Every structure is written in C-alpha cells, then in structure tokens.
Amino acid sequence: MKAPEWRQNVLLVSDDPEIKSSVLPAFGSETQFFTALNTEAAIGIIDETPVNVMIIDAKTTNPSLQYYEQVFEEKEQIPFIELSQYATQINNGVTIVLLVNKLRAKDGDFARKCGAVLIMDRKSILTNRMIYLIEVLRKRTFRTILARDIPEGTVFPVDLYSYLSRANRYVNFLPAGEAFTLEKKEKLQSSHTRHLYVMEKDLSPFLSSLRGQSEAQTYSESLSSLRNQYRQFLIQLFDLSTDGILIFGKELYDKGMEIITQLEKLIERFPTAGEAMTELPYPRFSAIAHSLNCAMYALMFAKHCGFENRHDIALGAMIHNIGFSEIDQSLLRKQEQEMTAEEFEQYKKHVFLSMELLKKKLFQLSPMVEKIILSHHENYDGTGFPEGLAGNNIPLEVALVSILGSFDYFNTVRPGEKPLSPTEAWLKLREHHNEATMLNRKFNPALLVDLDDFFLNNFFEK
C-alpha cells in the first residue's frame, strides 16, 4: 500500500515501536515525520517546527482516574492534555489525534475542548484507518468557493485561484487587492468556470469580505459550513469515547439529518435544479466531497423520481461508504476490474464494515438506510455484491444511490482531464452502464429513463 504524498510535518509522541509501525506507513515520502519519546522532547520539536498533525500516544493514562487531575511530577512529565493545549496554542490549526486504551465520554469531551480533534483506540490502530482519517481531518490547501457569489467590482484581501485540471495546478485568478471586473466575470463565463478556490488559511477573511457585500448568507459560506458539520460528524463517528452510548448515537443521527435538511434548503435557494446541479457539488474529489455530493444528488434525483423518503435516501447516500476507512486505501484508487481476486474480496467487505462502525455507535439506522449501505453495489443484472441481487429485488432507493455514486465519479474534475458538464457526465455514466458488467445492465433501466428526463428538463432548451 502506498501512502498519499502529503507535504506536511507530522509529530508522533510515543515510545511504543508497535504504534510507530502502524502510524508511519500512513504518510508518504514527502511528509516530514518526527517521533518524540516523551513529552519534553515533543515540546522541543513543537517549539522549533510548525506541526500540521500531532498524534499523541496516551498509554500511561489510567482510565479509572480523572487523568487531568493526576500528578505527573514523579515522571517529570505533563499530562497529554496539557501537551495538546500547548501544541494548539503554538500551531493554530494543528490536527491532534489522541490514542488511548480506554476513555469515558466526559473525559473525551474534556480532551476535545483542550485541542484533541479525534480520540482513537490505540489497541486497534490500523494504518488504513489512519490514512483515511488524516485525509479527512487534515487542513486542505485550498477551499472551494462558488463564482456566482462574487459581485462585480469587489476587492478581496486574499488571492483567489482557478484550477487548471489538464495541468493539475492552481493559478492565481484574482490577486489580493485587485477588483473583480466585468472582464474577469466574462472570462469565467466563457470558460464555463463555476468554482474558484481560496487557500484554507484565507477562507475566513474571504467569507468576511463577502458578508460585507450583502446581508444574505452566500452559497460559499453555506457550503463551507456544511463541510465543517460533516467533518464533525465523522469525528464523532470515529471517536472511541462515544462508543456504545445511546445518547451519542441519537445525537449522531440528528447531526446527519440536520446536514441533509440544510443541504435541501441550500439546493432550493438556486433558481433551478439545473443550476444547483451545475454549481453546488464539489468539483474536486475527496472523501468529504464525495459524501456531500452524493447527498445532494440523492435529494435532487429522489425529488424528480417522486420518492417520498428522500431524506433517508440522502442520509444513506452520504454515509454509504464510511467502511472504506477500514480497508487498504490503495484499493480506492482502482476500478473493480483492475483489482486482483484477493483485493476485490477485501474491497467487498467495506459494506459490512460500514454497518459495524454505525452499530458500534448505536446509530439509529432505518431499514432503508441499512439497505442502501449493504446493497449499493448490487447490479440490476445480478452481477453485483454482496448477495448478487437482481432486477426488482433491489429496492429502487438503493438502485438510485448506485447510480448517483457513479455519477459523482464522472462529474468530478480529474487531474489531467477536461472538466465535464453535468450532461456530459451523465452521458459518460450511460456509456459506463453499457460496459461495466458482463451482462451490460448495471443500473435499473427505469430509473435511467427517469433521470434522462431530469437532464432533458433541466439542461436542454425546449
């Protein structure tokens, strides 16, 4: 398994070689990886080096005590909580992951207030999950904004970038202090550019500038808020300290449904479904982007197809792939037909692993959401998994999620490739339907016809 090439500084605070052997493979050769065997050494590194991610092994913690009240003078150490606080003060925005043997919910809440982003079980730390979670939790270099939010004549205190997909690089489109002119606006329109980007560190001042132009909340601000809410949803899902506690399972479900409700309201703010489909989904692929995009498509497609339970469908679409966190992450960059038989068997397990993660949280799974998670890889012609269901034995809601998951793959900008319009992406999916399986019938044909109408109604002049 090859780890992603992340240009970041990572500090592991642990004297346990087994922990290091699990964590180190999650980071590629471009990562500057530091190991501190004790708290004093960790503070020395933090003082000298900007740290993007810090992983603290708290193996000395006695879970039967209030660990932040213990006396550590005998070992000449400070509690890991204080180390977490110190790192947060020195490096604003550092992602802190805490590895513990056991932790009560109220202690976990205290740890998060002191800077820990996520609390994980050190006894079962997996390289796969570490790669997945660091990719989800780490700070992004760029954040997506919607070009429609930018009023003509506006001057921003930060640089705005455009993404050249064929060259796979970002270029400065609107330098800080330069006005967004009619010429700039027309350039975006002529190139069908719907999104621009701002550096993560500049997102807050950019949004503040937008607020100064209008009292109404911008689309970019709403989308950023939803991304942050889903990020927090994932943190709670993977947090060891809230396992098996009913109130947290209920809270997690409520958070998921609130995200879906807000997504629906955001979609409805667009003049047409076609404009929402074109501008709102994240254009670059990531675990968070794919989840939110699938939820958006579920809401739009389910409404068009007349499904009444579209919030359940959207929730299932948003969380249907969380079991990917437990498998070899290199498999996620392969097509099913490119996998070896052994790799494909491991890949197929993610549907059951998703269920295990949610049940561990006592998440309130409706029968529909459970079916979506377990059966979204079933194919209409019976060639899918895990049960080989076919035809009408696959619920229409499940079949819809199968379609929209594939649609997001084609509707996402790929490095080195030309961006596609939603209709071009839909035509690619139609081609895929005819080639993806041995029997050439991957998706439910009645749903495909229904969704053909969606694209005809929203993207072609009558």
**2 within domain boundaries:** no
Q: Are both 119 and 160 inside the same structural domain? A: no
What the block records as the tokens of 38 is 């004790």
Indicate which CATH number applies to the domain containing 378.
Answer: 1.10.3210.10
- What's the pLDDT score for residue 255? 97
Q: Are both 283 and 376 inside the same structural domain? A: yes
Element (H, E) at 146: strand 142-146
**1 within domain boundaries:** no
CA distance 330 to 340: 13
- What's the pLDDT score for residue 235? 86
On whether the CB atoms of residues 368 and 312 are closer than 8 A, the answer is yes
- What's the pLDDT score for residue 79? 63
- What's the pLDDT score for residue 139? 65
- Residue ranges with strand state E in 157-232: 160-164, 169-174, 195-199
On whether the CB atoms of residues 312 and 284 are closer than 8 A, the answer is no
- What's the pLDDT score for residue 342? 94
**164 within domain boundaries:** yes
Report the relative pairing of strands 95-100 and 169-174 from DSSP bridges: unpaired
CA distance 255 to 250: 9
- Tokens 């809601």: give the residue: 397
Q: Are both 265 and 386 inside the same structural domain? A: yes
CA distance 319 to 323: 9
Q: Are both 268 and 251 inside the same structural domain? A: yes
**455 within domain boundaries:** yes
Element (H, E) at 157: none
- What's the pLDDT score for residue 86? 86
Q: Return the axis-axis angle of helices 445-459 and 396-410, rounded to nearest 10°.
A: 50
What the block records as the tokens of 132 is 């997945």
Element (H, E) at 363: none
Query: What is residue 317's DSSP assignment?
Result: H
CA distance 219 to 419: 21
Of 120, 137, 154, which marks where a domain is finished?
A: 137
Distance of CA 356 to the CA centre of its chain: 19
CA distance 47 to 51: 9
Q: Are both 279 and 405 inside the same structural domain? A: yes
What sign for the dihedral angle of Cα 88, 94, 100, 103? Answer: positive
What residues have CB less than 8 Å from 84, skipping those under 6 apart? Answer: 54, 56, 96, 98, 111, 114, 115, 116
Of 159, 187, 216, which marks where a domain is finished?
A: 216
Q: Which residue from 230, 209, 396, 247 is spatially nearest to 318, judged by alpha carbons?
A: 230
**245 within domain boundaries:** yes
Hey, is 418 helix, strand or coil? coil
Domain count, the chain: 3
Of 70, 102, 137, which marks where a domain is finished?
A: 137
Q: Are both 91 and 195 inside the same structural domain? A: no
**Which residue intervals of 55-121 are DSSP H helices?**
80-90, 105-113
Biggest alpha carbon–alpha carbon distance for the chain = 80
Q: Are both 402 and 449 inside the same structural domain? A: yes
On whether the CB atoms of residues 394 and 380 are closer than 8 A, the answer is yes
Q: Are both 93 and 16 inside the same structural domain? A: yes
**354 within domain boundaries:** yes
Q: Are both 201 and 76 inside the same structural domain? A: no
Indicate which CATH number applies to the domain containing 44.
Answer: 3.40.50.2300
Residue 14 to residues 3, 98, 107, 122, 212, Cα–Cα distance (Å): 21, 11, 21, 11, 47
**Domain extent for 113:** 9-137
Q: Are both 391 and 286 inside the same structural domain? A: yes
Q: Are both 270 and 378 inside the same structural domain? A: yes
**34 within domain boundaries:** yes
Tens-level pLDDT at each residue, the chain (462 residues): 455 666 789 999 988 888 898 888 888 788 899 999 888 889 999 999 999 889 988 775 343 444 434 433 444 444 677 788 888 888 877 888 888 877 667 777 777 777 888 888 887 777 778 778 777 777 677 899 999 999 999 999 999 999 998 888 999 999 999 999 999 999 999 988 999 999 988 999 999 988 877 766 799 999 999 999 999 899 889 888 888 888 989 999 999 999 999 999 999 999 999 999 999 999 988 889 999 999 999 999 999 999 999 999 999 999 999 999 888 888 888 888 899 999 999 999 999 999 999 999 999 999 999 999 999 999 999 999 999 999 999 999 999 999 999 999 999 988 888 889 999 999 999 998 878 777 778 999 999 999 999 999 998 754
CA distance 94 to 106: 23
**4 within domain boundaries:** no
On whether the CB atoms of residues 398 and 371 are closer than 8 A, the answer is yes
Q: Are both 265 and 177 inside the same structural domain? A: no
Rounded to 10 degrees, what is the CA torsion of 87, 90, 95, 101? 0
- Residue ranges with strand state E in 265-405: none
- What's the pLDDT score for residue 71? 39
